[in-house]
Amino acid sequence: MLQIPETRKKRVVILGAGFGGLTVAKKLDQKKHQIVIIDRNNYHQFQPLFYQVAMAGLEPSSISFPLRKAFQNKKDVVIRVAEVISVDPIQKKVETSEGECTYDVLILALGATTNFYGNEQFAKHTYGLKSISEALQLRNDLFKDLESAILERDYEKRQGYVDITIVGGGATGVEVAGALAELKNYIFPKDYTELDYREVDIYLIQSGDKLLQGMSEKSSIAAEEFLTKMGVHVIKNTKVVEVVGDEVTLGTGQKIKSRKVVWAAGITCVKIAGLPEQLYTSGNRIKVNDQLQIIDNKDVYVVGDQALLQSEIFPKGHPQVAQVAIQMANQLSKNLNQSTSKPFVYKDRGSMATIGRNKALVDLPRFHFHGFFAWLVWLVVHLFALIGAKNKVFVFINWVWNYFTFDQSLRIILKADTKNQ
Ligand SMILES: Cc1cc2nc3c(=O)[nH]c(=O)nc-3n(C[C@H](O)[C@H](O)[C@H](O)COP(=O)(O)OP(=O)(O)OC[C@H]3O[C@@H](n4cnc5c(N)ncnc54)[C@H](O)[C@@H]3O)c2cc1C
């Protein structure tokens, strides 16, 4: 059993403590509700900066926040670390790896995971970037492979160790490519003097004809120009069709020697057993009405990446970004607190992506800019969005340090302790 304390208050069970779930939990009125948060991790993770952990720019702890610390001394907030397995909307129950619990109101906020489009080979041989563990795995292997490259005399085999392929030219792919190019240009020549850093090739593969499909034309063009100048090989209009060992094959037949393939080519949601099949739409998103309720069930809500709310402006649903999750969570908590049923309307505040130092792109609803000022805006927005004063300070210090020294000091290969295995 999950051992949830008995209560006379309305029990709101929130599945997932990402941007959506955590925001609802913080905004719900604790005088009226008992709030139960269930997540597989005991911390909230700030996904937009995963790539900086993977590229040794930030410590994992500076972009994560312990859930219990976020709700210290809050008697009516119950946290359970467990894997959600199924939902029974008739009996109003949730089953988890640690037992089950009942609810009065259920909020699904389980986000999305990497979409390998059903290809087991891609899932096995490439790196996703949807958790801190995956970011750390990539960081470890990146630096392990550089050590192996130093020992490898054969040029072709060495290419496999040093070259990196990124699949997907959306914001994540572009940001990873930029960060890697900075490592190659600023760090590798100093740290790996026995290697010719010019041998390191970074490939960014995009199936469509432009990078950053969701952003403006100007942003797409600027991103490609920045990356090309930094030495990234941008290959468009082709897909990766095979990844085997240290070889990547493109749809054009081109082969790339590269042991590390970062998969940033899309996301999908995970179906939760027990919910009616007809609720699921493309990418396993759950169809909701404008009050974020699932069809035919007034007690089950969905927010964030998992929710699909169709409207005239967003016929395919809203973009799966943090702002949507936060705004949905704000509206839902207001409705639950005040027993109102105001519809959710998304206020688009624009989008941005960064490529590297002094290089970012910002699209506001009617205005685009890129370069140094865009980069400053990107830094400030991400700093303020981070949870926890300590995290903001640590990340700020790290960025200032990296900016002036052209260096970051987290290039550590972490090994799991095997003595008790
Ligand atoms: C690498 C990367 C970069 C991004 N960059 C940006 C950006 O720059 N700007 C932007 O706006 N958005 C960005 N996004 C998207 C943004 O992070 C998501 O839109 C946002 O996190 C969605 O919030 P959510 O609450 O729906 O889900 P999430 O934040 O994903 O939270 C889901 C939570 O559910 C938990 N969970 C999932 N399944 C289970 C289960 N079965 N059992 C228990 N717990 C479970 C997870 O541990 C997690 O805590 C990025 C995403 C990634 C991966």
248-301 confidence digits (pLDDT tens): 999 999 999 999 999 999 999 999 999 999 999 999 999 999 999 998 899 999
Distance from the alpha carbon of residue 114 to the mean position of ligand 1, in angstroms = 11
- In ligand 1, which atom is closest to the CA atom of 306? 26
Model confidence band, residue 417 (pLDDT cutoffs 50, 70, 90): low
pLDDT at residue 401, as a whole number: 87
Given ligand 1 and candidates 51, 65, 97, 110, which is best to mutate, with the most ligand atoms within 8 Å of its CB? 110
For residues 337 and 30, give the distance between their C-alpha atoms in angstroms, rounded to a whole number.
Answer: 9
Please tell me the pTM assigned to this model.
0.95
| Identity at 216, one-letter amino acid code | S
8 A C-beta contact, residue 11 and residue 104: yes
Distance from the alpha carbon of residue 197 to the mean position of ligand 1, in angstroms = 34
Structural domains in the chain plus CATH codes? 10-112+269-338 (3.50.50.100), 120-265 (3.50.50.100), 349-404 (no CATH)
Minimal-distance CA residue to ligand 1 atom 25: 20
Distance from the alpha carbon of residue 19 to the mean position of ligand 1, in angstroms = 7
- In ligand 1, which atom is closest to the CA atom of 41? 47
- Name all residues whose Cβ lies below 6 A of ligand 1: 16-21, 39-41, 47-48, 50-51, 83-84, 109-111, 129-130, 171-172, 304-306, 320-323, 325
pLDDT in tens, 293-313: 998 899 999 999 999 999 999
Among residues of the chain, what percentage have pLDDT more than 70?
Answer: 98
pLDDT in tens, 372-401: 999 999 999 999 999 999 999 999 998 988
pLDDT in tens, 27-56: 999 999 999 999 999 999 999 999 999 999
Given ligand 1 and candidates 36, 39, 47, which is best to mutate, with the most ligand atoms within 8 Å of its CB? 47
3-state secondary structure at position 194: coil
Residue 157 has pLDDT above 90, yes or no: yes
**Residue 21 CB: number of other CB atoms within 10 A?**
26
If phi over 0 gives left and psi between -120 and 50 gives alpha, with beta otherwise, what is residue 374?
Answer: alpha
Minimal-distance CA residue to ligand 1 atom 23: 19
Distance from the alpha carbon of residue 42 to the mean position of ligand 1, in angstroms = 15
pLDDT in tens, 114-145: 999 999 999 999 999 999 999 999 999 999 99
Burial of 162 (0-12, 13-18, 19+ CB in 10 A): buried
| Identity at 100, one-letter amino acid code | E
8 A C-beta contact, residue 292 and residue 332: yes
Q: Which two tokens stand for residue 416?
A: 């799991």
pLDDT at residue 372, as a whole number: 96
Distance from the alpha carbon of residue 219 to the mean position of ligand 1, in angstroms = 24
- In ligand 1, which atom is closest to the CA atom of 39? 44
